[in-house]
Amino acid sequence: MSGTSLDGIDAALVRFGAKGLGCLATHYRPYPDDLRQEALDLHRSGPDELRRAALLANRLAGEYAAAVTTLLAEAAVAADAVKAVACHGQTIRHAPADGYTLQLNNPALLAELTGITVIADFRSRDVAAGGQGAPLVPAFHDDVFRHRSRHRVVLNLGGIANVTDLAPGQPTRGFDCGPGNMLLDAWSRRHLGQPYDAGGAWAAGGKVLPDLLGRLLAHPFLASPPPKSCGREQFDLAWLEGCLAGHEAPADVQATLVLLTARSVAQAVGRWCGRPEELFACGGGAHNKFLLATLAAELPQLRMAKTEDLGMPADWVEAAAFAWLGRRTLLGLPGNLPAVTGARGARILGAIYRA
């Protein structure tokens, strides 16, 4: 898995057995800075972009292959013991309203480099069926995190934040709720020269700017009802800059961005998830202590924890989810939830590149 944060690749080795799934090993491979920058640049039109996108796709396949090879070496597992690699690719455009979503990858090359069957391009079939193509993780959350009598919400804090609503006796629902870490990271890179604000320590020293918060929370995506999904198209640094008066102290902006994420999640949960009893956070943002504390203050009626408490480390939930989705594809089973994405029906997701 490589998500909108553009931080790198989360690789998980997952076994599916009679007793459910087990995560055997994990490996994280950060993106080189220049790769990250090129992926970021390709979010907008630019000179020679088709060629640059093709070359970046090849380079990504090389990075994915290296992540797989290292993961298997560390786990002492041979490539021929692996059924398939499920690879999300790197989103550079997400425009379901225009009928497309684009994850850069070269799955054919990845199959050549690893000698393992590759499953890729998970989102486009759902979009073709009229859906958002996102979020796709709720079906997995439903399978592994649902409780028979407790109303649970799972919150994935990636670059974008998305929620899965697991209400007992109800179909699983879910949606992107808005920015997760994306703006926090961008602001931290600019002012701290750090890829992220570790633990939210910098934000914790700032004070919230109510006017700025009001302008940020007025983004129409936040109030629009599900099904919905978003990306850098909606919440990028240019949008943030347009909301600034220009004289704000950088730490105060960071504090305000933390509250933007927390409040937009809290409002979305309040509007569209009924009255859940507990929330389990996952994704890299679950390491941001200040963000979680701010969120807890916004949702005082909820018990908050991380997916660790449900047996799955926060960093590996999304990677394991794509292994789960890839398995569905191999078995010829649908992977999307039409109630989540808005697609016309359940669909088998992705394309298979045989070893």
Ligand X SMILES: Nc1ncnc2c1ncn2[C@@H]1O[C@H](COP(=O)(O)OP(=O)(O)O)[C@@H](O)[C@H]1O
Q: Which residues bind ligand X (CB under 6 A)?
A: 3-5, 7, 10, 158-159, 181, 184-185, 196-200, 283-285, 287-288, 318
Closer CB to ligand X, 316 or 353, in the complex = 316
Q: How far is the CB of 320 from ligand X (least distance, A)?
A: 12
- CB of 2: closest distance to Mg ion in angstroms? 6
Report what 4 binds from Mg ion, ligand X, none; CB cut-off 5-8 Å by kind. Answer: ligand X
Picked from ligand X, Mg ion, none, the partner binding residue 176 (CB below 5 to 8 A depending on kind) is: none
3 or 206: CB nearest Mg ion: 3
The entry of Mg ion, ligand X, none near residue 63 (CB within 5 to 8 angstroms by kind) is: none
Q: Which of 82, 64, 91 is nearest to 9 (CA)?
A: 64
Residues 3-22, one symbol each (x = binds Mg ion by CB under 5 A, - = not), give x-x-x---------------
Number of residues that bind Mg ion (CB under 5 A): 3
Minimal distance in Å, beta carbon 17 to ligand X?
26
- Residue among 5 and 329 whose Cβ is closer to ligand X: 5
- Give 158 or 342: the residue with its C-beta nearer to ligand X: 158
Q: Closest Cα partner for 355 from 39, 65, 77, 43?
A: 65
Minimum CB–partner distance for residue 169 and ligand X (Å): 30
Q: CB of residue 181 vs Mg ion: minimum separation in angstroms?
A: 9
Our CB check for ligand X shows the closer of 10 and 126 to be 10
What's the CA gap between 90 and 108, in Å, rounded? 15
- What DSSP designation does 96 have? G
- Contacted by 226, from Mg ion, ligand X, none: CB < 5 to 8 Å by type: none
Instruction: Please work out, in degrees rounded to the nearest 5, the angle formed at the alpha carbon of residue 129 by the alpha carbons of 176 and 57.
Output: 70
Minimal distance, residue 1 CB to ligand X, in Å: 6
DSSP string, 212-276: HHHHHHT-HHHHSPSS----TTTS-HHHHHHH--S---HHHHHHHHHHHHHHHHHHHHHHHS-S-
End-to-end CA distance of the chain: 20
Helix, strand and coil percent figures for the chain, each rounded to 5: 45, 20, 35
Q: Which of 336, 265, 341, 349 is nearest to 96 (CA)?
A: 341
DSSP three-state, residue 160: strand
Smaller CB separation from ligand X, 173 or 287: 287
Structure tokens of 57? 């796709």
**Residue 187 touches which of Mg ion, ligand X, none (Cβ within 5-8 Å per kind):** none
Tokens matching residue 349: 């997701």
- 341 is in the binding site of which of Mg ion, ligand X, none (Cβ under 5 to 8 A by kind)? none
Specify whether the CB–CB gap between 194 and 188 falls below 8 A.
yes
185 binds, among ligand X, Mg ion, none (CB under 5 to 8 A by kind): ligand X
Least distance from C-beta 260 to Mg ion, angstroms?
Answer: 20
Cβ atoms of 235 and 265 within 8 Å: the answer is no
- Could you say which of Mg ion, ligand X, none residue 287 binds, taking C-beta under 5 to 8 angstroms by partner kind? ligand X
Give the DSSP per-residue string, 285-347.
Answer: GGG-HHHHHHHHHH-TTSEEEEGGGGTS-GGGHHHHHHHHHHHHHHHT-----HHHH--SS--
Comparing CB distances to Mg ion, the nearer of 3 and 179 is 3
Residues that bind Mg ion (CB under 5 A): 3, 5, 7
